[in-house]
Amino acid sequence: MADTRSRTGAAVVVAAVACSLLAASADAATSAWKLRFSFVPQRAYQGQSAAVSVLVRPAEARCTLAVRFADGSYQPGLSPVRAAQGRAAWTWSLAPGAVPGTAKATVSCGRSGTLSRTFTVVGGTVRHSKLVITAQGFSQRPDSFGSGSSVSYGIVLDNPSSSEDAQSVTVLVNFLDASDHVLQTSTTSVPAIAAATSFNLGGSTSLPSGTPVARLEIVVQTGAYAAHTLHLPAVDNVQVVASTYDPNWVSTVNGEIVNDHPTDVLTSAQLSIVLYDAAGHVVGGGTGFVFNTLPPGTRSFFSATSGFSAVPIQTASTAAISIEPSYKAPGA
């Protein structure tokens, strides 16, 4: 009996020591790291944004980032940062001519250490557009039923050419979360953007979740440029209208379209609309259509209804409208 109690007591002591060692080992593993990556892209694309972030101890360490490309050159403009709550982050734009291939990101945080990781720079295969994005913005609203959400967005594209219309324009919009992951993608084709004008591109998309959209990633491609011939109808008496059934949100954008072409009949028109708040910031957008046949010098009422329901009515102050018209010449 005594031997049994002795062996039992010894087993308890051994078990206790083992547990203590395991706990100490776990604590050591938890507290051992001082620097680690929280985000490095697998791929980064010429002419688009890229980001790197790290977690670091102590929580206010000063860190630097160096990005070395495949030819040995370095990304300029990456300034040192002071970590905030243990996180240091950098975001920059890759030049359209950034060297494709394997690049290395190296982060140094003083006594906390140095880390490196590689990623791939992907070369552009499309013609870069001369169009300039001068404004963008969006509003997001949770769905009434289910776990999804909807986003209303607006983008303003400027054609700086005084003599050429941009033709076959394609605009790809990625909706990104705070971790730079793509939540959804929307693609819009615009037949032409007139010389020396801005095009107001409005639209909407549905997301399968309520994850907040942090920013838009926009890629503009232009198929060709041609001598300026495009004539655009005028709009008048534009109003942003609240929903009758849900008065806190935008329902439609109403107004009048005017055929001011000197000779041709306006047979139809697609409307692309961007909404602004009182401070001039883009808060959303949408689309509409006009199918009335308008001879020169006549006008028609329109009510654009698509894409606005995620925009709070109190933020939507004004609307800017661009038109894709279809004309018929006399006798045609």
> Please, are residues 259 and 268 in contact by the beta-carbon 8 Å criterion?
no
* 27 sits in which H/E element: helix 2-32
- What the block records as the tokens of 139 is 């509003």
Angle of CA points 234, 292, 166, to nearest 5°: 45
CB atoms near residue 332 (< 10 Å): 7
Q: What is the DSSP letter of 69?
A: -
Predicted confidence (pLDDT) at residue 182 exceeds the cutoff of 70: yes
> Please, are residues 298 and 255 in contact by the beta-carbon 8 Å criterion?
no
pLDDT digits (tens, 9 = 90+) for 86-131: 999 999 998 888 899 999 999 999 999 999 999 999 876 544 568 9
CB atoms near residue 164 (< 10 Å): 18
- What the block records as the tokens of 218 is 């926009």
> Please, are residues 327 and 267 in contact by the beta-carbon 8 Å criterion?
yes
Predicted confidence (pLDDT) at residue 16 exceeds the cutoff of 50: no
Asked whether the CA dihedral 244, 246, 252, 255 is positive or negative, the reply is positive
Query: Which of helix, strand or coil describes residue 14?
Result: helix
Query: pLDDT grade, residue 3 (50/70/90)?
Result: low
Q: In whole angstroms, what is the distance from residue 313 CA to residue 316 CA?
A: 5
Q: In whole angstroms, what is the distance from residue 93 CA to residue 271 CA?
A: 32
What per-residue confidence (pLDDT) applies to 46?
A: 84
Predicted confidence (pLDDT) at residue 77 exceeds the cutoff of 90: yes
Q: What is the DSSP letter of 89?
A: E
Q: What is the pTM of this model?
A: 0.67
> Please, are residues 262 and 295 in contact by the beta-carbon 8 Å criterion?
no
CA distances in angstroms from 224 to 167, 187, 329, listed in the order given: 5, 18, 25
pLDDT above 70 coverage of the chain, percent: 89
Least confident of 39-53, 199-213, 299-313: 39-53
- What the block records as the tokens of 305 is 């209804």
Q: In whole angstroms, what is the distance from residue 207 CA to residue 183 CA?
A: 7
Predicted confidence (pLDDT) at residue 194 exceeds the cutoff of 90: yes
What per-residue confidence (pLDDT) applies to 19?
A: 47
What per-residue confidence (pLDDT) applies to 130?
A: 84
Q: Which is more confidently placed, 247 or 25? A: 247
Comparing CA positions, the residue from 199, 151, 200 lying closest to residue 311 is 151
Q: Which is more confidently placed, 317 or 23? A: 317
